[in-house]
Amino acid sequence: MTLDKSQQFAVQAISQVLGGRNLAQTLEQLAWQHPQLSPQQRAAAQDISYGVLRYYGRLNAILKQLITNRLDDETVRCLLLAGLYQLEYGKASAHAVVDHAVTAAASMKKPWAKGLVNAVLRNFLRRREAVLAGIEQDEQARYSYPQWWISKLKQQYPQQWENLLQAGNAHPPLTLRVNRRRMSADDYLHKLENAGFAARILGRESIMMAQPVAVEKLPGFAAGEVSVQDYGAQFAAHLLDVRDNMRVLDACCAPGGKTGHVLELADVAMTAIDSEEARLARTRDNLHRLGLSARLITGDAGKPEGWWDGQPFDRILADVPCSASGIVRRHVDIKWLRRETDIANFVAQQSRLLHALWRVLANGGKLLYVTCSIFIEENQRQIDAFLTRQADARQLALDEPGNGQLLPCADHDGFFYALLQKI
């Protein structure tokens, strides 16, 4: 594998994300544009991209210690960030990292870039201890989050904020959901062990792999025996309390993980909506793999007049758009793409969806409100505001998670659940 090719690929991705683009979509597009790269080179580029963005606050602070003058060239700046990430967190030798970074700089056809990259990275190796000491008091450098995010968690979780920041910087586990229509978690665990994979059962249908593995290598994946889904996300289908023959609506359903889980638990008449046809196609593909079916609609869940047939639903899963602050370990770009002002916009959107969906819920029916956020404004505070305005709504107690807020930890990401009943 040629490390400088991977660096070049990663630099393009990092630069585009810091310019406002989604990381997963950027990597997919770049892979399509560079078909000559081997799978190993693409994997290395992905590791560098995710790593730089996971630790961007720290790496950027280090770079500012090493370059006193303003560096206006974003491509060279991102190459330096990639090199610093590999020196701090990578497994390649320091000599190889510097050498390939210099080669990548030379390919940019900017005469000054090669010397600058060489000087900065070697300067870091010589002065590493002093440079790191110089950023120790910078919270954005220490935790690699924007300051507004750190301050918000300090205010909302005074006892847990530091653990939450650290959890968001951890590498996520690979967790599976066994299709209970096909087999039990115990049976699938034995199947994994027979195939040479180490794993453990978390609960119900959930299994955590000891090491990441490509999904195509999972026994029975193509046949629909198992899906990839975070353990925290697997609470949703059970909390919705579905039974056979119910009319169920999954609003904002893509990519269909929760849709499939509900259908695995009961024979229901499922309607699943998403606002984007391309995203809805992923739901269709997932259901097809699982051997399940639903009525799929492209539309705005907040405008029922465009898709509702007038028949109320017994259960509604409202997995609403949110800041995604509970899943940053899987989507490291979120930390740098979100702005503090975005929260109010999400809150307004969530409120609109809640009120619209309440109209199509049957009397006595239940609506499960879900976010993958840990910010209070999007969660219990949103529900409290809804209850003050909606006289026919009550919040039901949950056995798990106790207060509805599932905080990120080693076993799962962060989610919020609130079960509402129309009375």
Give catalytic residues, as residue numbers: 372
Strand-pair partners of 176: 207, 228
| Residues 359 and 352: beta-carbon distance below 8 Å | no
Give, in order, the Cα–Cα distances in Å from 321 to each of 51, 114, 279, 325, 379: 26, 44, 14, 11, 12
CA-to-CA distance for 405 and 379, rounded, in angstroms? 8
- Helix 147-156 and helix 161-168, axial crossing angle in degrees, nearest 10: 140
CA-to-CA distance for 334 and 54, rounded, in angstroms? 10
CA-to-CA distance for 140 and 369, rounded, in angstroms? 32
Q: Is 248 helix (H, G, I), strand (E, B) or coil?
A: strand
Phi (first) and psi of residue 133, to 5 degrees: -65, -30
Asked if residue 401 has a cis previous peptide bond (ω within 30° of 0), the answer is yes
Q: For 257, how many CA atoms within 13 A lie in the half-sphere containing its CB? A: 16
In 10 A of CB 24, how many CB atoms? 15
Residue 218 makes CB contacts below 8 A (sequence gap 6+) with 176, 192, 197, 226
